[in-house]
Amino acid sequence: MVSSDLQAVPYLTTALHGPLEYLEAHLLAHQSEIEHWLRLQWQETPAPFYASVDLRNAGFKLAPVDTNLFPAGFNNLSHSSLSLCVQAVQSAIERLNVSAHGVLLIPENHTRNLYYLESVATLQGILQKAGLVVRIGSMLPDMKVPQSLTLPSSKKLQLEPLIREGDCVSVKGFTPCIVLLNNDLSLGRPKILEDLYQEIIPPLQVGWSTRLKSTHFTFYSEVAKTFAEQIKIDSWLIDPFFKNCGEIDFMKNEGLECVADNVDALLSAIRRKYSEYDVPHEPFVVVKADAGSYGMGVMTIHSADEILALNRKQRSRMSSTKEGKSIRRVILQEGVYTFETWKPLDAVAEPVVYTIDHFVVGGFYRVHTTRSVDENLNAPGMHFEPLAFVNSCITPDMTKAPNACPNRFYAYGVIARLALLAAARELKNGSKPDRF
């Protein structure tokens, strides 16, 4: 098992003697202080039930770029993550409702996406192994009778019609006290889930119809600042700059001047930082739907002019996200290069870290063979390499170099937990930062 550290781990193509090695060494040197600080944070602000955090490792900078509170992809975690997931679910249930027997799991409606269904089946298995009775309630409007599926992995999945009776939802004969959402509510808060007596986890207000990435990153910036002060680093090393505008409409060319101005301001700010740290790369900005998911409505921009010169196809792509939902708000985020390369394919890779309760339970690399280091990898053609994180995110090893795998992965686990803490504060504040 020792060899797992050496298996199939991406390489940083950039030389590791810049600020990141400094950052890794620094996190490692402050490990006890960091864990102590995080422990106190979780007492104050309990972590979301589960999450996945997309990170980008630029060699000189390590930062989260998206925090998903309805994670899919559990099927991409390594087999050895399973017991960590089970143990973390047990901790979460003890905290949420120690006498819970069962969970009603509400998945996304796209029943034809077999990858997604594999994730649902894996998640169901994790919850069952933790000792919960789990049944799956589908919100598909045309589901009238239970539907049994056998997935490519040979796992079996039974979807049942979700029923609303009084202030409870159930599937036939099963009304547990916990309703676990794995549906990101992109199309809005479904009526069937409003005003329930049961606890919905996570709560409806963090569905993508209302949650904004800009809110998350406002909280993240606060977390990163406090954390950076705590361990005495420049918070920029872990926090991407961002800005947002008011209402925009890419198709009607409305509000794009504000976007262009903000892109300009961001590029200048990044350029100053690149100069301060002698980073020999071109700054870029990523424009994302503020309420987007599934990697849709995302665009890489290198200059303000590009915004004003978008062609019809590009503008159309930025006009709607998952399930055709139109984009009216965008977040402009400092682009963070990913300089990790999946060697066997010489492909660009970015780490995705999974958490359950406040524990890092695993992760994988999202790999894309045709995208480049400054592009969104969450796009058709991506695949996942599940082995790389085996046991590594929580087993830093002081006897090894700061950039040895368990230590780099420890750094990933720390930054992912900072994003998780930001999400926890979002939840606590009803998804609105205090300042808004």
Residue ranges in contact with a second copy by CB under 8 A: 1-2, 4, 31-36, 38-40, 42-43, 78-80, 82-84, 86-88, 90-91, 93-94, 98-102, 128-133, 156, 359, 387, 390-391, 393-399
Instruction: Report phi then psi at 27, rounded to 5.
Output: -60, -40
* 67 DSSP β-pair partners: 53
Q: How far is the CB of 316 from a second copy (least distance, A)?
A: 44
Q: How far is the CB of 362 from a second copy (least distance, A)?
A: 9
> CB-wise, 124 or 333, nearer to a second copy?
124
* 192 DSSP β-pair partners: none
Classify residue 346 by its DSSP letter: T
The residue type at 262: N
Q: How far is the CB of 127 from a second copy (least distance, A)?
A: 10
436 token code pair: 């808004």
> CB-wise, 133 or 308, nearer to a second copy?
133
How far apart are the C-alpha atoms of 250 and 314, rounded to whole Å?
Answer: 9
Give the helix/strand (H/E) hosting 428: helix 405-428
Q: How far is the CB of 222 from a second copy (least distance, A)?
A: 22
> CB-wise, 65 or 223, nearer to a second copy?
223
Classify residue 238 by its DSSP letter: T
> CB-wise, 17 or 36, nearer to a second copy?
36
Cβ-in-10-Å burial (0-12, 13-18, 19+) of 96 comes to: middle
Residue 106's alpha-carbon distances to 77, 136, 157, 200, in angstroms, are 21, 6, 13, 10
> CB-wise, 148 or 399, nearer to a second copy?
399
Which string of DSSP letters, residue by residue, matches 160-201? EE-EEETTEEEBTTB--SEEEEE---TT---GGGTT-SSEEE
> CB-wise, 99 or 275, nearer to a second copy?
99
How far apart are the C-alpha atoms of 23 and 310, rounded to whole Å?
Answer: 38
Q: How far is the CB of 199 from a second copy (least distance, A)?
A: 17
How far apart are the C-alpha atoms of 424 and 16, rounded to whole Å?
Answer: 32
Q: How far is the CB of 406 from a second copy (least distance, A)?
A: 9
> CB-wise, 275 or 399, nearer to a second copy?
399
How far apart are the C-alpha atoms of 131 and 98, rounded to whole Å?
Answer: 12
Residues 6 or more apart whose Cβ sits within 8 Å of residue 52:
67, 68, 71, 73, 352, 353, 354, 355
Q: With left for phi above 0 and alpha for psi between -120 and 50, is residue 121 left, alpha or beta?
A: alpha
Q: How far is the CB of 173 from a second copy (least distance, A)?
A: 15
Instruction: Report phi then psi at 288, rounded to 5.
Output: -130, 150
Q: How far is the CB of 43 from a second copy (least distance, A)?
A: 6
Cβ pair 410, 28 in contact under 8 A? yes
> CB-wise, 154 or 275, nearer to a second copy?
154
Q: How far is the CB of 34 from a second copy (least distance, A)?
A: 7
Q: How far is the CB of 233 from a second copy (least distance, A)?
A: 18
Cβ pair 362, 78 in contact under 8 A? yes
Burial 170-180 (b: 16+ CB within 10 A, else e): bbeeebbbbbb
> CB-wise, 339 or 409, nearer to a second copy?
409
> CB-wise, 95 or 302, nearer to a second copy?
95
